[in-house]
Amino acid sequence: MTEEIILDVQNVTKQFPGITALSNVSIQFKRGEIHGLCGENGAGKSTLMKILAGVYPYGTYDGSVFYEGQELKLTSNSIKEARAEGIAIVYQELTLVPDMTVGENIFLGKEITENGVINWDKTYAECRKILEHYKLDVNPNDVVKHLGVGKMQMVEIAKALSENAKVLILDEPTSALTEAEIDKLMEILESLQEKGITSIYISHKLEEFFRITDSITVLRDGKTVITAPTKELSLEKLVSYMVGREMKERFPHSTRKPNGTIFEVQNLHAIDPEEPSREILKGVTFDLKRGEILGIAGLMGSGRTELVTTIFGEMGKITSGKMLLEGKEINIKSAKDAMEKGISLVPEDRKKQGLVLIQSILNNLSLPNLYSFSKTWRIDKNQELKSCLQQVKNLSIKISNIENEVNSLSGGNQQKVVIGKWLMTIPKILIMDDPTRGVDVGAKYEIYKLMNELAEKGVSIIMISSELEEVLGMSDRVMVMHEGRSNGILDITEATQEKIMALATGIA
C-alpha cells in the first residue's frame, strides 16, 4: 500500500439554516486503504459523504476537497460528475430498480447504444466482464427483485465500480446483511483494495471496523475527533471517542425478576394469505413471562419477523396452533385487535412501517392513540399535545419543536418516536423487531435502558435482533428460530454465540 493521498478533505465547514453540520473537518484518505468512518447519528458522516459524492456541489460549503492533487469543484449537476471523476457511493437504502435485470441496473443511465438503440448483447457482455473482474458472483440476467439483499448489495457495488471508481463510499452496507453475506462483502472489499481502490466504510457495527479497516476517523458533532490506524484503537476507545465519554458497558444493568406466564404460543402454524401454498410458520412454541425480555434470534428468512407480525394479526393466516394471553385463548385478526388486548409492535423498518415521515413528531406519536385523546368523536388537541410532550420528555427524545416533521430527526430519535407511540398505548406485551437497527451507540444504550425500565415495571418484551451481542446482552431467555420453527429456547445463563448459531443454522 502506498502512502499517496487520493482524497484530501481540508477544513470543510457546511452549514444549514440554524445548524452547523460540519465544522472544520479535515481527513486524508490514502490510495488503496479501507478507511472507516464512524460517529453517532447526526455527527456529520452523511453530510461529508454528500459533499464527496457531489450532492452538495462546490460552493455550498467552505473549505476545500483535493482529489488526486486537484481541487474538486463539482458543479450543480454534480452527482454524475463525481461518478465520472471516479468517486462512487453505495447508499444505505439500495437504489436498484427491482423489476429490471442486473445488467439493466448496472448500465442504467449509461446505456450502451448504437444509433440511439440499446445494444443488449454488448451490455450483458460488458456487465459479465465487470462482475468477473471484481469477482462478484451474480448473474447479469437475473431480475433484481429475486435476488437476496446480499446480492443486491453486490450489484450496487458493481454499478458503482462500472465507471472505474477509484474511491468507493459504502454507507452502512451491512445493516441488512446476514453473517455469511457480510463475510462475502469483506472479501470483495479486500479484493478491491488489492486493485488499488480506496473504500470509505461507514457503519454502526463497530466490530466490523476492526475486521476490515486500515484506519478509522471518528466524527462527533460535526468535528473530527481523531484519525488513527485501526491497530492503535480498541472497541472501548472507539466508543468513548464517539460519545465523548467513557462507556464502561454496552448493555445497562437490570434488576428485573420475571415471574408468572403472561403469554403462550403453542405449535403455531401459519401460511402467507397472498400465497397460500407458502407456509411461513411451521410450528412455533414459546412462553413469555411477566416482566421478561425474550430475545428471538435467527438468520434472515428464519421467520422471526413473520412470527411477530402474525401474532400482531397483520401477516400470516394461522392454520393451526393457538395463542393464550393470561391463560385465555385469544384470536387476533388485526393490529387494532392486538392493541386492544395490550399487545404492541415496534416494527422492523421505522421508515416504511413505523412512521409517517411527512407528518409531524406530534402526529406520529399520537397516531395509534387518537381515540384515547377523543371525547366522543372530537380530538382534544391540548390533551394530545400534553401527552405527547410528556412522552418526548420520558424518552428524552431530542427535538426542537414537536410540530416539526419527524423526518428531521436523527435515526435514533426517530426510533424513539416509534417506541414512544407504542408505549402510549400502554401495552402489556411489547414486541420489538430489531429495535436498534441503524441507531447509534449512544441512542442504543438509551433504548436498552428504556427496555430494562419497562421490564422492571412488569411489561413483557419480545425482542428480535440481528446482533447476537444484543440478544445475549439484553435477554432473559433466547428463542432461536430456524426455517419457520422455534428450534430451542436457551436460558441466558447457558446461551452462547456458538449455541445460538448452531440452533439458527439447524446444526443442533
Partner 1 sequence: MESTSVVTSKGTTNAVGKWFRRNLQTSMIIIMMIVIWIFFSILTKGAFIGSQNISNLFRQMTVTSILAVGMVLVIVTGGIDLAVGKFAGFVSVIVAFLQAFVWYKLIPDQPLLAATLSVIAGLSVGILVGMLEGYIVSYLGVPAFITTLGFQWIWNGAILLVTGGRTIPANQPYFSYIAQGYLPLWLGWVVAAVVIAALFYTMFNSRAQKRRYGFATNKLSLDMAKTIALSLVILFYVYMVNQYNGVQVPVLLMVIVAFIMAYLGTNTPFGRHAYALGGNMEAARLSGINIKRNVFLIFVLMGLLCGVAGIVLASYVGYGTISAGGGYELDAIASCILGGTSPLGGSGTVFGAIIGSLIMASLTNGLQLLNVTPAWQYIVKGAILVGAVYIDVYFKKNR
Residue 371 binds to partner 1 (criterion: CB under 8 A): yes
Residue 330 binds to partner 1 (criterion: CB under 8 A): no
Q: In what order do the strands lie in the sheet with 215-220?
A: 87-90, 167-171, 198-202, 34-38, 215-220, 223-229
176: DSSP letter: T
Residue 339 binds to partner 1 (criterion: CB under 8 A): yes
Residue 80 binds to partner 1 (criterion: CB under 8 A): no
Kindly provide the b/e burial profile for residues 2-40, where b requires at least 16 CB atoms within 10 angstroms of the residue's own CB.
Answer: eeeebbbbeebebeeeeeebbbebebbbbbbbbbbbbbb
Of the residues 14, 220, 304, 421, which one makes contact with partner 1 according to CB under 8 A: 421
Contact indicator for 437, 346 with CB cutoff of 8 Å: no
Residue 347 binds to partner 1 (criterion: CB under 8 A): yes
Within 13 Å, how many C-alpha atoms sit on residue 63's CB side?
19
Beta bridge partners of 295: 463, 478
Helix, strand, or coil (residue 424): coil
Instruction: For residue 456, give the C-alpha cell.
Output: 422492571
Helix, strand, or coil (residue 439): coil
Instruction: For residue 451, give the C-alpha cell.
Output: 427496555
Contact set for partner 1, span 257-316 (CB under 8 A): 312, 314
Of the residues 383, 394, 408, 410, which one makes contact with partner 1 according to CB under 8 A: 383
Judged by CB under 8 A, the stretch of 112-120, 362-370, 443-451, 495-503 that binds partner 1 is 362-370
By beta-carbon proximity to partner 1, the closer residue of 13 and 425 is 425
Cα angle, residue 181 at apex, residues 175 and 182 outer, rounded to 5°: 55
Helix, strand, or coil (residue 34): strand
- Min dist CB 32 to partner 1, Å, is 39
Judged by CB under 8 A, the stretch of 208-216, 218-226, 349-357, 493-501 that binds partner 1 is 349-357
What's the full length of the chain, in residues? Answer: 508
- Min dist CB 135 to partner 1, Å, is 37
Judged by CB under 8 A, the stretch of 121-129, 365-373, 446-454, 483-491 that binds partner 1 is 365-373
Contact set for partner 1, span 443-502 (CB under 8 A): none
Sort strands 87-90 and 167-171 into parallel, antiparallel or unpaired.
Answer: parallel
Instruction: For residue 161, give the C-alpha cell.
Output: 465500480
Number of neighbouring beta carbons within 10 Å of residue 431? 26
Of the residues 114, 231, 377, 507, which one makes contact with partner 1 according to CB under 8 A: 377
Q: Residue count at the site for partner 1 (CB under 8 A)?
A: 37
- Min dist CB 354 to partner 1, Å, is 6
By beta-carbon proximity to partner 1, the closer residue of 146 and 371 is 371
Q: Which amino acid is at 54?
A: G
Judged by CB under 8 A, the stretch of 178-186, 226-234, 282-290, 363-371 that binds partner 1 is 363-371
Residues forming contacts to partner 1 in the complex (CB under 8 A) are 312, 314, 334-336, 338-339, 345, 347, 352-359, 363, 366-368, 370-371, 374, 377-379, 381-383, 385-386, 389, 401-403, 421
